[in-house]
Chain A
Amino acid sequence: MDYVAELMRGFAVLMQPDILPYLIGGYLIGTFFGAVPGLTSMLAIALLLPLTYSLDVTAALVACAGIFMAGMCSGSITATTINIPGAPSSMMTAIEGYPMQQRGEGAKALGHAALASMIGGALGAVLLMVVAPLATDAALLIRTPGKFALIAFALIVIVISQRGAISKGLVATTLGVMVATVGIDVMQPVTRFTFGTAVLMQGIDIMPLVIGAFAISELLVQAENKSARTVEAADVKAAPIRRRDFIPPWSEVREIGFFRYVKCAVIGYAVGVLPGAGGSMAAFVAYAESMRSSKHPEKYGKGSVEGIAAAEGANNAMCSGAFVPMLSFGIPGDPTTAIVLGVLVINGLQPGPQFLDSQMALIAPMFMALFVSALILVPLTLYLLGPWFVRIVSIRRDILYASIAVIALVGCYVATYSMFQMGLALLFGVLAWLLRRHGYPVACLLLGFVLGPSLEEYCRRSLSISDGSPLIFLTSPDSLFFLALTGVFYYFMVIRKPQARQHA
């Protein structure tokens, strides 16, 4: 009952006039960044990170929840109207939405996308509220060797989920862990890799890495593009949308079926819990399952509303799923939750098994923000801004990227008042740009950086318990469980998959 009361109190906090504007503001920023091709909600949260130094932690978490949820569904707008997914998670929506737009049913496609996002996002938030305390109880059972095996499992799944680029995923993840080893050792008072530089003794902060890897590298990628606007003026004129067409016909909603909405939300949520999977994979898995179980699979690829509902429901449910491992184990499931973890760490909070019990007052408004943004802000934003959206996202690139550059660098400065941190952000930006150019996943760099210190600490603690014997990882039941789970995932994601392709 206490837990339900805390959630209710969280809702009351969210509705306070000094907190609610952060949800609405965050949602609108996330919608803009999610819809503009080339920008992502992850970049929006990265730009927000330095500002959290001077923000109340509840307000910062609520804003992050709004950005995350908005970023997932707003990509469907440009995906449907001009066949350019605003976010990678809207790829499947473009496949079904754009043929509908060409038939003059673009508004209806957007209505279906918003309805599925609303149901998926709200169900995901409810599942998060139900599952998070259970996951926290389970986390209490895990001892030191098990914690090492769990983090190793997370990192290995992050690497092997990089389809077609596993070795590059391993390079990027290892690089992230290596960067995290700079500074004072996690167990002994010894400095490592500071090369006599006093400013490196405290280690490398998450902030310049996030700003460099996601903001500055994006500037460098976009500097190669010579278009004047983010979306060409001709595309804007060719995509008229009327507000009255947004509401999807009841007959089509019934044809999609309540069970399909729920199934895709559960799939998206489960994919979100897995480390490294993200919105694109959630949308793809739910879309594939929806096509497999459909009575009309022949309609897929030609403007199927079932396909839109599956993809959009799943990617919004994924948002809440990604918070489960982050809050219960301190293991972020994707780069966005890794940055949210950074927000918590900046404010002196460390997620883990005791976190929900001790900090529920801070976390409950964020849970409620996920629920409210899915249930209310998703349909409301589409209804109010939908007809103007393609116009809004077609902006001058010189204004957009000059502004992002200033916010990123000045934000980096105000967070630490350090020119050195600004320089580090530039250095990481160039490095991340080089990695991105050659297909190394930069998200792995961040996740390796975030998980690296815990991996080392638990590894060394376990070995000191066993007097240096690595057999402790096989004799400890929880560790053995996660090692076996790693083997199962490796089998299904790396070994069995190529065989399936060969047979196909």
Chain B
Amino acid sequence: MRILSWLGSGAGVVVLLLALTLIYLVAALGIAPPISNGNITASFFPVVLGLIMVVALAVSMLGDRRKAAAESDDKPSTEAGASTSFGPLAVVVLTAVYIALFSSLGYFISTTLYAFAMTLVFSAGRPTPGQLLVKALIAVAIAVLGYGLFEWVFQVRLPVLWG
């Protein structure tokens, strides 16, 4: 959980982008030398982009640090005190599971379950049994309306459980 929290911080984003840029730069240099026999190659542009990115990230990080230092003189850091919300993590996990099961479970079952789970994530507080029933009906309605939109209006084929 701490790793996820750090990844979501400003420094974590910079480190993530820097890591991606370094992988990108290494892969670019693996394609060909940027200039060969006086001609630029397929790796020239990506290498230039990678270098611009490293400089931009460094400038951005310095700007953030300067800003944070100026703010810390006036008030405590908001990032450290920020409350952790599990909503975004739940959306990512549920969406990943939905994508994984979409083909095998078919549109109706997977979409109804996904829509139901999403109505729970976007609820204000813990739902009562009666509210759960309403949310289940909403999930079915969303799946049916989605089916109508895609299958009937736009005439595209959606996956089915035993198709």
Q: Which residues in A have some Cβ–Cβ distance to B below 8 Å?
A: 51, 53-55, 167-168, 170-171, 174-175, 177-178, 181, 185, 187-188, 190, 192-193, 195, 216, 219-228, 397-403, 405-407, 409-411, 413-414, 417, 419, 422-423, 426, 429-430, 433-435, 437-438, 440, 456, 459-460, 463-464, 467-468
Contact = CB atoms under 8 A, between A and B. Distances in A.
Contacts of B52: 170, 174
Given A419-B103, A460-B44, A192 B31 contact: yes
A54 B155 contact: yes
B69 interface: no
Nearest to B61: A167
Interface in B13-65: 13, 16-17, 21, 24, 27-28, 31-32, 35, 38-46, 49-50, 52-53, 56-57, 59-60, 63-64
Given A167-B56, A195-B27, A419-B99, A54 B156 contact: yes
A433 B42 CA distance: 31
B111 A406 contact: yes
B153 to A, nearest CB: 9
Contact of A220 (B88, B96, B139, B142): B88
B8 A434 contact: yes
Contact of A167 (B38, B60, B150): B60
Contacts, number: 174
Given A168-B60, A170-B52, A223-B122, A414 B138 contact: no
Contact of B42 (A188, A222, A422): A188
Contact of B95 (A181, A398, A426): A426
B119 A399 contact: yes
Contacts of B120: 398
Contacts of A435: 13
A414 B143 contact: no
Given A53-B156, A178-B53, 18 more contacts: A167-B60, A175-B53, A178-B49, A187-B42, A192-B28, A192-B46, A224-B85, A224-B87, A224-B88, A227-B124, A401-B118, A402-B118, A402-B139, A405-B91, A406-B114, A409-B98, A410-B107, A410-B150
B162 interface: no
Contacts of B107: 410
Nearest to A464: B39
Contacts of B40: 460, 463-464, 468
A414 B142 contact: no
B92 interface: yes
Given A220-B91, A414-B150, A438-B13, A171 B8 contact: no
A464 B38 CA distance: 10
Given A409-B95, A419-B103, A434-B16, A223 B138 contact: no
Contact of A171 (B57, B154, B158): B57
B49 A181 contact: yes
